[in-house]
Amino acid sequence: MIEIPTIVYVLLVAFMVLLALSALLLVAVVADALVAQRRVRVARGASIGTHYFGLAHSH
């Protein structure tokens, strides 16, 4: 059987930790953007469809 060096395991664990932290950061950024958009939408009294339709077609 081929023995895998310990450094490979260390690098694999480090990569998995980095991947998990990146995923958490992505979720936090997306949640923050949605909350910010909700505040704007509620302040204007717009429905969800109207607000996001306007955002999509404003570019």
Q: Give pLDDT, residue 54.
A: 75
Whether the Cβ atoms of residue 32 and residue 25 lie closer than 8 Å to each other: no
Q: Which spans in the chain are helix H? A: 6-44, 48-56
pTM: 0.64
pLDDT > 90? residue 52:
no
pLDDT > 90? residue 57:
no
**Domains of the chain: which residue ranges?**
6-56
> Which tens digits make up the pLDDT trace of 1-47?
678 789 999 999 999 999 999 999 999 999 998 888 888 888 888 88
Task: Label residue 53 by pLDDT band (50, 70, 90).
Answer: confident
Taking CA atoms, 39 is separated from 17, 35, 47, 54, in Å, by 33, 6, 12, 15
